[in-house]
Structure formats: C-alpha cells, structure tokens
Amino acid sequence: MGAKSMNTRKWLYSLLILIIALETAGCSLSGPVRERNKVNLKVIIAGSLLVPFQALEKEFERANPDIDVLLEGHGSVQVIRSVTELNDKADIIAVADAQLIPLMMYSTIIPKSSRPYADWHINFAANKLGIAYKNDSAYSSEINADNWYSIISRPDVTIGLADPRIDAMGYRTLMSIQLAEDYYHDQSIFEKCISSAFNPPISIIKNGDLSLIKVPEIISSTKQKVKLRSYSIQLMALLESGDLDYSFEYESVARQRGLKFLSLPEGIDLSNSDYEKQYQKVKVSLDFKRFASVVPDFKGTQIVYGVTIPNNVSHPEEAGRFIKFLLGPNGRRIFSQCHQTFLVNPECDNFLALPEDLMPYFTWRN
C-alpha cells in the first residue's frame, strides 16, 4: 500500500472520529448552522404577562422554527424606560397600562433620527385589581369586599405594595385605595392603609373632584407592616412564603399561582369602562423628574394592556408575525387558559401607522 493511500485513510479515519465526537456531544454538523440562522426576537413585557407570554413563546416557536423568542419581564414603567432611556433594543414591548406607550414613547425621539420610539399601539387585554392572599393569612376567614380596608390596616397584618415609580400595579394600588374612600364613605382609608407607613408620606392633594396622589422621589416604609418591592410579581413570592398576609394584585396573576383572590367592587377595581368617570377622579404624579422627556402623571382608567413594535425594531417582519399570533385564536386561547381577559375587539389608536400585515385585524376609522 502506497504512502499516499495510507495518509488518505488516516485522514478519513480522523475525520470520522471527529464527526462521532461532535455527534456524541450533541453538536451535529447541521444543528449549529440552523441555530445560528435563527432570528432572536426580543420581547420586553410587564411581569404580569410572563405566564401567558411564556406559553405564547412555546407555541409560536413551534410554528415558527426560524425564530427564537427572548422574553424579558419588568414593571410596565421600566419596560418602556429600558427602551427609551437605557437604549435596550426591543422588537416588541407589551405593558399592563396601555396609556404608558403614547405617554412615554410618542414624543420621545430616537437618537440620530426624527422618528419617535413608537407612533401606534394596540389595546389587546384587560384585568381586574384585587387582593391576593392565602388560607393562613391573618384574618383570612373574616376579610370580604366590605371590610378589607379595616383588615389590612390592622397593626398585626403585613401587606405588599409594588413600587409606584416602576410598576403599574403600584400606582394602580394607590388609585384603588383612594377611590375606596368615596366608595365606603371613609376619608381615612388612604392614611391608615398607605400614608402612615411611609416617610416621607405618599400624600393626597384635593382639587375639586380630583384626588392627586403625590409620590416622592424616595419612598421608604417606616413600618414592617408594608413591604415595598420593585415589581408586584416579587410580592407573590413573599405571600407564598408567609412573609406577607395580603398583596394587591391582578386577578390573572393570583389565579395563575393558585392563590385566593378577593374581588373588589367595580367602582374601585379599575376593571369596567362603565366606571371610567369614577376612575378618572384619581391621578398619580411622581413628585420629581423621573424621566428625561415626559411628565410622569398616570391617570386613573380601566386596566387595559398595550403592545407595540418600537420604530427602532431590529426584526420588524418577525415582530409582526408574533403580534399576529398573539391576536389570533391561539393567543386568545392561551390568555383564557391563563385566567386573563382578552379583548373581544382589540383596538389600535393609529391605523395608518400600523405595519401592513397587521392592518387586516382592524378597521380604519377616518
């Protein structure tokens, strides 16, 4: 046998050993190529959307094997700030308060561009605010929709509050407690449940029918009874571990985690558009310049979730495919399974700015 033939056989043998080693390690020659060709679709969402969006991610990726969805959850205010102020590129953002998108993105211009970060959004889901608790929470056998505020204000009861500077659940909790004063004809509810626990206090300024809730730049709980966390989802872990008795939360989140949920009257739970005039009697203002380019005033309104594709999107076609999947029958089914209301008729505020492939889902109103 010639030397050349021997060298060829040795080379082929070495190649075979290499292939076997790669396959054994799970690194087939075709696998990494396919993975490298996948589009990484970054989706930044409100924490209360994590469970349905994780289910969406699995089904969407199964139907679209060329896309890898990368989910990231924050409080709704922080979701938008991460894009507009922290330069975090996102293909899609979805928040628990749809009004934040026009408030924080429509007038904020992308650097080295004349375009705002967004100029349309879709209202697609709803929720209701209530109180999450467990069977072993203090006074759990007594609490109801008529006495909850007296129960949670007791000195031996611990409650959770999401940070109103970061999380929509935080400022909505303040709104709901303030609305409760008129509903139950008791003007001491906010003071007993919230203000007395903070220094400096979260204060109320009355202007006719409007109650303006002023949140200071630094808020610190002076009592162990109120535990402040950045996001409401973090409070659920404290509740489950027994470190909290009660926490204000969205119904969907409480149901997803198997917790008990106390429904509040519709006049204060921010769930029903029929009470919109009542909800508008409260507004939360951050009493400091929190954002670079917007006035941080959050209006009382029905809980509606919003989604958009930022104008500096990296993968517009794939982002459109994901939103179509969200708005379609699979998205509706997943939200129902996750105990969250999907709007019968999602709404878009700027039809002509929509990507063309999303226009068939809406009717243009001139």
Is pLDDT above 90 for 256?
yes
Average pLDDT over all residues of the chain: 90
- 3-state SS string over 126-149? ECCEEEEECCCCCCCCCCCCCCHH
Tell me whether domains 39-126+303-361 and 129-285 share a fold: yes
pLDDT digits (tens, 9 = 90+) for 95-116: 999 999 999 999 999 999 999 9
CB 159 within 8 A of CB 244: yes
Half-sphere exposure of 124 (CA within 13 A, CB side): 25
pLDDT digits (tens, 9 = 90+) for 124-182: 999 999 999 999 999 999 999 999 999 999 999 999 999 999 999 999 999 999 999 99
CB 169 within 8 A of CB 249: yes
Residue 295: pLDDT band with limits 50, 70, 90 = low
C-alpha angle 280-290-129 in degrees, rounded to nearest 5? 40
142: left (phi over 0), alpha (psi -120 to 50) or beta: alpha
Residue 7: pLDDT band with limits 50, 70, 90 = low
Beta bridge partners of 72: 44
Q: Judge residue 300's burial from the number of C-beta atoms within 10 Å of its C-beta, 0-12 exposed, 13-18 middle, 19 or more buried.
A: buried
pTM summary value: 0.89
CB-based contacts of 145, cutoff 8 Å, min separation 6: 262, 263, 264, 265
CB-based contacts of 205, cutoff 8 Å, min separation 6: 211, 212, 214
CATH superfamily ID and name for 129-285: Periplasmic binding protein-like II (3.40.190.10)
CB-based contacts of 295, cutoff 8 Å, min separation 6: none
Give the right CATH number for 39-126+303-361 from 3.40.30.10, 1.10.1740.10, 3.40.190.10, 3.40.50.1000. Answer: 3.40.190.10
Lowest mean pLDDT among 40-54, 206-220, 263-277: 206-220
Other beta carbons within 10 Å of 22: 14
The residue count of the chain comes to 366
Residue 363: pLDDT band with limits 50, 70, 90 = confident
Q: Are strands 210-215 and 203-207 parallel, antiparallel or unpaired?
A: antiparallel
For the chain, domain boundaries: 39-126+303-361, 129-285
Q: Which two tokens stand for residue 143?
A: 């609490």
